[in-house]
Structure 1
């Protein structure tokens, strides 16, 4: 369950206050947040992840109001319960695909047997490159690795920042299907922010900022 209520944010005292709509998602519900560049989509995503502190308002994941947590407790909660797919890949370039996955598990404080890791990589069609370094991967493989790293620790909430906007129609549909499949498998809420209106029809819940 995800609940957002009376949420606002201000970057500096001389900048406008950004105000966001209330959100309530039941278990496994998905949400698409549309909007042009500059309206605060990524800011909202970062507030939901606890990467920014709101000016006012509530961000609740499960039964936890994340803004009541200490910095250390919030880091621990985020590592265990939130997955993020970024516009730019954040994998460690000195490590292989498999080593990146294991590092993500280590920092989340969770574990997974090698067989299950390989199953996940196979589902995302990157099992054959598990021993390759990051600079040896294609753009599509990097995107699939980003999804794997977001899901491998079985988060309650997956946040995806413009996951399809730079893709052609075929790869857009593929990435979106992978996100939905993994969210369903993990019984996780999926929230996608984008200006890519091609994926609007794939979501029942849509908010436009």
Structure 2
């Protein structure tokens, strides 16, 4: 369950206070957050991920209140329970695909399950890339690896920042199907933050900032 109450954030005393609507997601529920550039979508994602500390309000993921965690515990919680899908690929370029996924499990303090890694790559149709270095992958393969890195440790919550904005209609639908499928397979909540209105029909829960 994801619960957000009375959340607000201000970068400096001279900038606008960003206020966010309350959010409550039950088990396996997903949410689409729509909004134009500059309205605070990425700020909201960073607050939920614990990359920014909320100045007002409360964020709970499962039984955990983020405000109750020390910086160290918050880093550990994020590494274990949250999966992040960024616009830009954050894979380690000196490692191959398999090594990147092993490293993600290591940092999440999860066992290295080779069979799970192989199965995940098969689901995402990049099994043949398992030994390839990052600079050998196509843009589509990099995007799928980004999804794999976000879910390999079986997080409670998957957060995706503009995952489809640069894609044509066919690949937009494909990436969203992969994200929704992986959320279902991992019994995780999925929250997508975007300005891309094409994916509205895929969500029952929607808020606009």
Gaps of 5+ in 1: none
Check the 8 A contact 2:9/2:17 in 1, yes or no.
yes
* Matches of 1:120 and 1:12, distance apart in 2: 42
- Counterpart of 1:113 in structure 2 is 113
Cα deviations across residues 89-120 of structure 1 (Å, max 9, x unaligned)? 00000000000000000000001421111010
TM-score (norm 2): 0.99
Please tell me whether residue 182 in structure 1 is matched to residue 182 in structure 2: yes
SS in 2 for 1:33: strand
- Counterpart of 2:86 in structure 1 is 86
- Which consecutive segments of 4 or more residues in structure 1 shift more than 6 A? none
* Matches of 1:47 and 1:115, distance apart in 2: 34
- Counterpart of 1:77 in structure 2 is 77
* Matches of 1:111 and 1:35, distance apart in 2: 38
Check the 8 A contact 2:106/2:112 in 1, yes or no.
no
TM-score (norm 1): 0.99
Q: What RMSD in Å do the two structures reach over aligned CA positions? A: 0.6
* Matches of 2:115 and 2:58, distance apart in 1: 39
Cα deviations across residues 9-52 of structure 1 (Å, max 9, x unaligned)? 00001101000000000011000000000000000000000000
Mapping 1:1-209, distance limit 5 Å: 1-209=1-209
* Matches of 1:94 and 1:64, distance apart in 2: 35
* Matches of 2:113 and 2:165, distance apart in 1: 34
SS in 2 for 1:92: coil
* Matches of 1:116 and 1:74, distance apart in 2: 26
Q: CA deviation at 1:167?
A: 0.4
* Matches of 1:4 and 1:66, distance apart in 2: 10
* Matches of 1:112 and 1:185, distance apart in 2: 18
SS in 1 for 2:7: strand
Q: CA deviation at 1:66?
A: 0.7
